[in-house]
A and B are shown apart, each in its own frame.
Chain A
Amino acid sequence: MTRLVELAKVLRSKNSGPFEITLDVLFDDKASYERVKKSGVIDYPAIMKAYSLRRQDISCIVFFDSAMGVKITFNRPISSGSMADRDVYGAQQHAPLMELLIPEQEERM
């Protein structure tokens, strides 16, 4: 198993508008990207667990092959900059994602 952060070139969080957080995981080699994509580790249950979300709070988990990246977007519990917010830009919400464990690639025949 390898931590996702070790395979990714970029792993970040940011606001996508004041009511959503978007997580980007980008790779700089095809092998790592394919390994993560095929592992199926980044899915709705994993994100719901890591960020205490209901299914309907996640607006997308999309792999984009030509950019070798995956994007995860979900609702903020508190909108950006309003009184109980803790991260106005949403720039430091990515750490739990780093720790997802990606299994070794299966041996090719």
Chain B
Amino acid sequence: MKEKSFKILSPCGILGYGFPDESFNRAIEMSPDAIVVDAGSTDAGPHKLGAGVAIVSKMAAKKDLRRIITAGYKLGIPVIIGSAGGSGGEVHVKWTLAIIDEILREEGIKDLKQAIVWADIPKAAVREAMRKGEVVPLGTSVPQLEEKALEETTAIVAQMGIEPIIKALESHAGLIICGRAYDPAPFAAVGVYNGYPKALSYHMGKVLECGALCCNPGTTKDCMMGELFEDHFDVYPADPRRKCNTTSVAAHTFYEKDHPFILHGPGIIQDLERCTFVQKAENRVSVYGSDMRDSDGYWIKLEGARLQAYRTFVIAGVRDPILISKLDEVEKAVQASVEKQYEEIDRSLYTIMFYNYGINAVMGDLEPLKDVPHEVGVLFQVVASTQEIASAICASLRSTFMHYGYEGRKATAGNLAFPFAPSDVEFGKVFEFSVYHLMKVSDPCSFFPLEARE
């Protein structure tokens, strides 16, 4: 008799990143029991959460969602989307729902039961937890959360664990749209709901949430299968040209985590130190020995962003070797001149920054090499309390830099090669993560309400 198992298809690492039709069709022929896709990430910075925009285009999200939703519907298996719209806030979930509605209408699907699990955290709840000392910074460089930062934060989400998603599965929804979720949680939830051990389900979710990134060559843009058994799980790519071996899967546990084998999630601590990786077949790796324990209290990770400033920037090239040899000095002089030209604007209202590509733009003061290149890309930016100030100061910076008469100059017609006209780019709002804290909760589901949708 064939051993009982449960197959989860992860079509790609981020919903909207795309996946080849051939891979997806092959994966569907393998008869998955669920399709789960992670749509989220904080990797692209605080702007998506703060400004309420998605991380992929509508066109990209719709293309992926259409294939996933119609395949799941035809097979009669659950489809789960984690961290809808990228940041998983209300506006991001609603953006996703609007796309889903278009697809269902266009495909003539009328009887797909849906469930939404929201992940927005009211400020009042955070304030209450702060009073009880139950909000702590996540990391030693994150400041304690203060009322001012909380007040300025545009929206707060929290990463849900498996519990609210299991509730959605219990409602027999065919399509579950989750707000912000711990990346592996939607995968783990469907495994646990179907009776598989939590530690295996979570570890398999951790591998699957990145699509085929655990393969060689690895990519987030291809389909990966995970299969849960009683005492282990298997992973294998839908495209046999991708090599999946014990090293590539073991190495993947490192990815984007602060520790190689201790992973903290909502209510849990995974311990993967004693895992063993076995090559079961070509391109199929079995993982044994995933361990986990409940954490001391159930803590959820809060994420929130606030407006920091407005930015205007210019990109220009410098090819003159005399200027390149004294670039830092010239930039300082240009900045001083601009500050003097705008004496009436308080210095605390704006900041001028130069990034010299070719010298040390990527690493700043940490750059160990001091080579002098023949060409430098200069990016200068002004961030200010208003867009108007940012643009005014930046324009002045550009014209001063362009014509600045530094000592030893021979090229008296101009210092900068602008690739574009106009040269100044109004970037708009700059956000920062103002909330990145853990909050203690008594019930893993209380902040993640379930909403049925027909």
Contacts and interface: CB of A to CB of B under 8 A. Distances in A.
A79 B364 contact: no
Interface of B: 42-47, 138-142, 247, 250-251, 253-261, 273, 275-277, 308-309, 311, 351, 353, 355, 361-366, 368, 383, 430-433, 436
Contacts of A16: 256-258
Q: Which of A24, A67, A85 has the most CB of B within 10 A?
A: A67
Interface stretch (A35-43, A87-95, A101-109): A87-95
17 contacts: A17-B42, A22-B258, A28-B247, A56-B140, A59-B258, A60-B258, A62-B259, A62-B260, A67-B261, A69-B260, A80-B45, A81-B46, A81-B47, A83-B309, A88-B45, A93-B363, A99-B368
A67 B42 contact: no
B141 A19 contact: yes
A3 to B, nearest CB: 13
A17 B138 contact: yes
Interface residues of A, number: 46
A26 B258 contact: no
A99 B361 CA distance: 19
Interface in A70-100: 70-71, 73, 75-76, 79-89, 92-93, 95-96, 99
Contacts of A96: 363, 366, 368
Contacts of A79: 46, 141, 432-433, 436
B254 A67 contact: yes
B301 to A, nearest CB: 9
Nearest to A51: B366
Contact of B45 (A10, A14, A18): A18
A24 B255 CA distance: 8
B430 A69 contact: no
A52 interface: yes
A66 B275 contact: yes
Nearest to B46: A81
A83 B138 contact: no
Nearest to B433: A18
A73 to B, nearest CB: 4
A38 B293 CA distance: 32
Given A22-B257, A22-B258, A83 B433 contact: no
